[in-house]
Amino acid sequence: GTANESDLEVLARWNRARASLMMLPHFDCHTPMFMPVGTQGTVKGLTTTQLEELGCQVILGNTYHLENRPGSDLIYQMGGLHKFMNWRRGMLTDSGGFQMVSLLQLAEITEEGVTFQSPVDGTRMLLTPEASIQIQNKIGADIIMALDDVVSSTVTGPRVEEAMHRTLRWIDRCIKGRDGEDTFLGFVWDLVEYAIGGVSGGEAKEAFWRVVEQCTAALPENKPRYVMGVGYPLDILVCSALGADMYDCVYPTRTARFGTALIPEGVLKLKLAAMATDLRPIDPTCDCMFTEKMRNSIIDGSFPEFVRDFLKKQFPAGDVPQWVCNALAAAGIQV
């Protein structure tokens, strides 16, 4: 069925920030949480055991890529993506719509769905809300997403309005499309994803935090709030202060491949000549994930201290960006 009342249980709160428990079919997740991107059924170079050891609770699969290779039919035959890649914890698949729009130039959006040109043979293919759900059902993630009408974040005016209403109509079709198809556990994402989705593009950060702020204020308490494509620690901190729960981004994986490590002070570029004789560990204080530390601070009431400590390390000169100060003020934290 659709998302039910006990999707998310808020365990602790500091003003708008919340630490919650989200029970998924495969795993009980503690939020706020970051979800690494495992585009094609693997998080770059890491074994599933290593991911568990890192404290990773949910990984993402990209429906578009998985449908290309190895194909949802094959995944279904192999018992679903969990079994295929031997991942015991949570999994989320996106609708596939975003990749089609971002990767393919010739995407066209109509009321029926997203039409695009096949990269394989050039034929026109249509991804409908129903088809997206069908593919995701075969992949079998814990959390599946409704196809949304994505508009570029630079677009303004009636097209945005149109996108919102179309997305709502598509969500209805998605929910209908699931009937009888539910071979795996999973639930369709609510309005949440739409509401916050699409803000991670190129807007000014000021506009970004205001959108998140308005969304989290308007959304029901017992539903998880997922900010798609957000991965910079500072952004995660601000969104969490405003009451968001889940994040995903290729940023940590991608930046790692370029030789950059995330540290409390910002980033460490390990390719720099100065690093050649630096025998210290990447981060001597590193013992657990950033979001885990943040979660603990919400639970034990030290969240504002955590925020201030974080900012002090990232901005030792005290030059915290104005948008961060504004957002945190809205979250009840004075920087």
Partner 1 sequence: MTVLQFAVQTTVGAARHGLLSLPQRGVEIATPAVVLYTRRGLPVHLTADLLRTLGPDARSLQVNPVHFLESPGPDIVQVAGSIHDLLSFHDYALFALTSDPLEFEAGGTTTKTSASFETPAGRRSVTISQYMEVINAMKPDVAASLTDEILATSSAKRTIKSVDRSLRWLDSCLDLRATGSLDLPIFGSIQGGGMIAERERSACETAKREVAGFHLGGFGRGETYEERSLLLQAAINHLPPEKPRHISGLGVPEDVLQGISAGVDLFDGSYAHRLTMGGFAMVFPPDEEEDDVAFRNGVHVALGSAVAAQNGQAKGNGVIGGMANGGGGGGRNESAQRYAAEVGEADADGATLVELKSHRGRERGRDGKKDKVGKGELPEEHGGVVSGAINLRSTAYRLDGRPILAGCECFSCRNHSRAYIHHLLNTSEMLAQVLLDIHNIHHYLRFFRATRRAISEMRFSEYCNWFLKRRLDCSNGRPASQKRFVMEECHSRQKYSEKASLLPLSVGTF
| Residue 281 neighbours by CB distance under 10 Å | 10
The answer to whether the CB of 113 falls within 8 A of the CB of 147 is yes
Q: Minimum distance from CB of 94 to partner 1 (Å)?
A: 17
Q: Give me the residues paired with residue 143 across strands.
A: 92, 187
Which residue number, 274 or 317, has a Cβ lying nearer to partner 1?
274
Q: Minimum distance from CB of 284 to partner 1 (Å)?
A: 14
The three-class DSSP label of residue 305 is: helix
Which partner from the list Zn ion, partner 1, none does 296 bind, CB cut-off 5 to 8 Å by kind?
none
Q: Which residues are at the interface with partner 1 (CB under 8 A)?
A: 40-42, 44-50, 65, 69-70, 74, 77-79, 84-86, 276-277, 279
Query: Which residue in the list 142, 190, 235, 248 is annotated as catalytic?
Result: 248
Which partner from the list Zn ion, partner 1, none does 152 bind, CB cut-off 5 to 8 Å by kind?
none
Which partner from the list partner 1, Zn ion, none does 50 bind, CB cut-off 5 to 8 Å by kind?
partner 1
Which residue number, 206 or 283, has a Cβ lying nearer to partner 1?
283
Which partner from the list partner 1, Zn ion, none does 48 bind, CB cut-off 5 to 8 Å by kind?
partner 1
29: Cβ–Cβ under 8 A, 6 or more apart, which residues? 21, 22, 23, 57, 58, 90
Nearest to 245 by CA among 3, 21, 15: 21
Residues 260-279 interacting with Zn ion (rule: CB under 5 A): none
Which partner from the list partner 1, Zn ion, none does 284 bind, CB cut-off 5 to 8 Å by kind?
none
Tokens of 301: 């009431």
Q: Does 288 bind Zn ion (CB under 5 A)?
A: no
Q: Minimum distance from CB of 43 to partner 1 (Å)?
A: 8
Which partner from the list Zn ion, partner 1, none does 286 bind, CB cut-off 5 to 8 Å by kind?
Zn ion
- Among 103, 126, 267, 286, the residue binding Zn ion under the rule CB under 5 A is 286
Query: Which residue in the list 94, 142, 235, 245 is annotated as catalytic?
Result: 94
C-alpha Rg value of the chain to the nearest Å: 20
Q: Minimum distance from CB of 36 to partner 1 (Å)?
A: 13
Inter-residue long-range contacts of 170-179, CB under 8 Å, 24+ positions, other chains counted: 170/113, 170/129, 170/146, 171/129, 171/146, 173/128, 173/129, 173/130, 174/129, 174/130, 174/132, 174/133, 174/146, 174/147, 175/2, 175/146, 176/130, 177/129, 177/130, 177/133, 177/134, 178/133, 178/137
Which residue number, 71 or 332, has a Cβ lying nearer to partner 1?
71
Which residue number, 77 or 322, has a Cβ lying nearer to partner 1?
77
Which residue number, 278 or 283, has a Cβ lying nearer to Zn ion?
283
Q: Minimum distance from CB of 55 to partner 1 (Å)?
A: 15
Which partner from the list Zn ion, partner 1, none does 329 bind, CB cut-off 5 to 8 Å by kind?
none
Q: Minimum distance from CB of 68 to partner 1 (Å)?
A: 9
Q: Minimum distance from CB of 38 to partner 1 (Å)?
A: 10
Catalytic-residue membership of 245: no
Helix, strand, coil % in the chain, rounded to nearest 5: 40, 20, 40
172: Cβ–Cβ under 8 A, 6 or more apart, which residues? none
Which residue number, 283 or 305, has a Cβ lying nearer to Zn ion?
283
Catalytic-residue membership of 94: yes
If you ran DSSP here, which 8-state letter would residue 145 be given? -
Which residue number, 62 or 314, has a Cβ lying nearer to partner 1?
62
The answer to whether the CB of 113 falls within 8 A of the CB of 122 is no
By the 10 Å C-beta count (0-12 exposed, 13-18 middle, 19+ buried), 294 is classed as buried
If you ran DSSP here, which 8-state letter would residue 289 be given? -
Cα-flanking dihedrals φ and ψ of residue 96, to 5°? 95, -20
Residues known to be catalytic: 94, 248
Interface residue list for Zn ion (CB under 5 A): 283, 286
